[in-house]
Amino acid sequence: QKEVEQNSGPLSVPEGAIASLNCTYSDRGSQSFFWYRQYSGKSPELIMFIYSNGDKEDGRFTAQLNKASQYVSLLIRDSQPSDSATYLCAVLSNDYKLSFGAGTTVTVRA
C-alpha cells in the first residue's frame, strides 16, 4: 500500500502567524497532490492541488512540491481562527487511486 505520512501535530499557532504542514509519500510515480481541510464531524473539502515542482499560491495558502524529495507542504499565511481544522494530504498514484495521510490538526489561538 502506498504510504503518505504527515507531521502528527497537533499544531498550535497564534492568530496571524504562518502554519506549516508537511507531507511525504512513498510512491515515486505519483503525479498529483491535494490538500483537503476537514472540520470536526464534517467531510473533507479541497483547498489546493499541485502537479508541478515548485510553489503554487491561492490566497493565503501556498502548496510546495518537490518530487525528487517526495515531499509536499502547505503554508497557511495570516492564520485565522477559522483555519482551525484537520488538514489531509492526498496523493494520486498512477493507478488513479488517492492515498491519504492521517492528517494534521491545526489550532489557531486568538
The answer to whether 38 touches 85, Cβ cutoff 8 Å, is yes
**Rule CB under 8 A: is residue 71 a binding residue for another protein?**
no
What is Dmax (Cα atoms) for the chain? Answer: 43
DSSP 65: E
**Rule CB under 8 A: is residue 97 a binding residue for another protein?**
yes
Q: Which amino acid is present at 9? A: G
- Pick the piece of the chain touching another protein (CB under 8 A) from 11-19, 58-66, 68-76, 98-106: 98-106
- Interface with another protein (CB under 8 A): 1, 4, 31-32, 34, 36, 42-46, 49, 51, 88, 90, 92, 94, 96-103
